[in-house]
Structure 1
Amino acid sequence: MSDETTSPGQPTTPLLSWLYLTLAIAGAILPWLANWEFIQTYGASFNLGLFVQLANANAAAQSLSRDLLIGASAVTIWMVAEARRLQMRGLPWVLLGCVTIAFAFGAPLFLYLRERRLQEIARNG
């Protein structure tokens, strides 16, 4: 499989853009369904301290939390560098979405916007 999305000006697949957008939508809905259940179970507001405590309640939860923290940190650094390299618009909204909605929303949204930017670069030569 060739890597069509690494260099500006290379052709990209419109289907890939839509796949990323679909993942962004799922990444917004599915984590917030769990967040809603957390709010329903533990109180009328989102208690961040309790959320973090429960996210580290056992070894399995700690593993997932630490995995997400390290992976999301690395990908966020790459997103900032890549957005600058490609002169992308919308990065502040993506980062805000990562923090306020879910990283599972923000990362695929970034990839969607990146694919659109690569398509724009390919069209404009």
Structure 2
Amino acid sequence: MSRHWSPLAFVYLALSVAGLIGTWWFNALAIIQLRDFLGDLVTSGPAVSSITVDLLVVATAGSVFLIVEARRLGMRFGWLYVVGSGLTAFAFTFPLFLAMRQRRLNQLASEDASAPA
């Protein structure tokens, strides 16, 4: 069973568990405290904490993916997308990375197609 599990797969799995526990901890608090989940989004409370954990785990997993994928595809300066997310937003840098990744995949496919057989 463990022969297909790489260290990277375990990192993603650990982030998945952290995301589940972190978000549901605050969701459970909201339920126990009989909080208005949607109202808490604009005023504060467990709902905000749940979403914060959610976004933090997603950004962490996305950052790991971004760095690993950039290296795999030979994209230089992949780490700059992660640094840039601290200066702008992950909602900006991750889609930007995906666009540049697709560009690189297209470039590699075109090089393969033009290579002599």
Question: What TM-score comes out, normalization by structure 2 length?
Answer: 0.56
- Write the letter of the residue equivalent to 2:64: I
Q: Which sections of structure 1, spanning at least 5 residues, go unmatched?
A: 1-56
Equivalent of residue 112 in structure 1, options 96, 99, 104: 99
Secondary structure in structure 1 of the residue aligned to 2:76: coil
Structure 2 spans left out of the alignment, 5+ residues: 1-43, 113-117
Equivalent of residue 69 in structure 1, options 56, 77, 82: 56
Distance 1:124 1:75 in 2: 28
| Aligned position for 2:88 | 101
Percent identity over paired residues: 41
- With normalisation by structure 1, the TM-score equals 0.52
Greater fraction helix:
2
Matched with 1:81 is 68
> What's the offset of the Cα at 1:59?
1.1
Q: Which has the larger radius of gyration?
A: 2
The alignment yields a C-alpha RMSD, in angstroms, of: 2.0
Which shifted more, 83-92 or 59-68? 83-92
Question: For residue 48 of structure 1, what is the aligned residue in structure 2?
Answer: none
For the residue of structure 2 that corresponds to 1:89, the secondary structure is: coil
